[in-house]
Amino acid sequence: MRDLFYDLVKRNGMAVSIYLMVAVSLWVFLLIILPQLTMLDYSFRFNLPPGKIGGPEDVYTLDQYRYFFQGSGSSGGLNTLDIGILFKTLMSAVFVTVFDLLICYPVAFVLAKSSTGAKARLLVLALIVPYWINEILRAFAFRILFGSTGVINEVGMGLGLFDSPVDFIREDVALYAGLAYAYILLMIFPLYNAIESLDRNQIEAAQDMGANWWQVHSKVVIPYAKPGIASGMTMVFMLTAGALAAPQILGGPSNLWFTQLVYQWFNSGGNWPRGSAYAMILLVVCIALVLLTMRIFKVSIGEIKR
């Protein structure tokens, strides 16, 4: 820490260094660590009326976590509803992440290796422009698109693909499409960066030695782009699992996203400690899943930040 500061001072001068240190510390501490610690603290407390906070009943408890596993029943049965929602949320997020990877990899590859200069920049711009529109607006646009009188149903019926309108909302198609679209750039750019730095000759050398296009990708490009793939997948997975707007707007009536549960406990439920406990559970499970996946695919965190 001290060496780091001296190094900063040597490079940037005293004023800039102090500003950097203070700004970064404030950011990390005030905006990340402190709120999370507060949430953690909340999650281990009872939901008490304001008058009793700080009183003799305000003690640490595992009650909020117990509720997630066992529900309100004292019989010790499992809270299958909430656990099921968590499981479904995670599975859906994995599905959306893999789906994003599948559609982004070819795009990133073409961007990085086949198009040049101005053309690539134009393509990147075309990818970014839709994101100038607010996330909620985009979600509503998807709702209209997939609605029973939406463009997709109209066209589908016009072409005779199906007789009556398909309820894309109830079937969660709209939700998956909306989520997949919401974080697609976070997949494309890490992939693009990784593939872009791959020497073209490596691809040609592989071809020259007899590799077909599938082998070129599986043996040369994908191993090389693995850190980028891991970084893109981590971001998309984390954000999808933690998404609120898209599930709220595009989700079917019978399908809850785990974040919606958290939201309900905080908001209509008025139970902040339980909401905090649920948020913590989501965070820990997501991180564990990411670390486990990275271990399976032998990617280290150090590689990802490249």
Partner 1 sequence: MTFAGVGTFMTKEISLEHVWVEFGEFTAVQKANLNIAGGEFFSFLGPSGCGKTTLLRCISGFQEPTRGLVKIGGKDMKGVGPNKRPTALIFQNLALFPLRSVADNISFPLEVRGVDKKTRRKRADELLELIALPGQGDKKVSELSGGQKQRVAIARALAVEPDILLLDEPLSALDLKLRQHMRTELRAIQKQVGLTFIYITHDQGEALTMSDRIAVMNKGKIEQIGDGKTIYDHPSTSFVASFVGENNVLEGTVLTNDGKMMQIDAGLGTLFHVESHPAGGPALAPGDACQLFVRPEALKIAKSDNSLNQFETRFVTEEFEGNMRHIVLDAQGKKLKLSLINDGTHSIGASAPVKLDFAPALGIALKPGELASA
Angle separating helix axes 14-26 and 2-12, nearest 10 degrees: 130
Shortest CB 306 distance to partner 1, Å: 13
Q: Which is nearer to partner 1, 38 or 215 (CB)?
A: 215
CB atoms closer than 10 angstroms to residue 146: 22
Q: Which is nearer to partner 1, 22 or 205 (CB)?
A: 205
Q: Compute the 3-state secondary structure of the chain and give helix, strand, coil in percent, each to the nearest 5.
A: 75, 0, 25
Shortest CB 199 distance to partner 1, Å: 6
Question: Please, which contacts does 79-84 make with residues 24 or more away whose CB atoms are closer than 8 Å?
Answer: 82/261, 82/278
Q: Which is nearer to partner 1, 229 or 236 (CB)?
A: 229
Task: Give the rounded distance of the alpha carbon of 280 from its chain centre.
Answer: 16
* Structural tokens at position 22: 């203070």
Shortest CB 220 distance to partner 1, Å: 7
- The residue assigned the tokens 């290796």 is 113
Q: Which is nearer to partner 1, 57 or 204 (CB)?
A: 204
- What are the residues binding partner 1 (CB under 8 A)? 199, 201-202, 204-212, 215, 219-220, 223-224
Shortest CB 249 distance to partner 1, Å: 43
Q: How many CA atoms lie within 13 A of 183 on its CB side?
A: 30
Shortest CB 206 distance to partner 1, Å: 7
CB atoms closer than 10 angstroms to residue 154: 13
Q: Which is nearer to partner 1, 74 or 114 (CB)?
A: 114
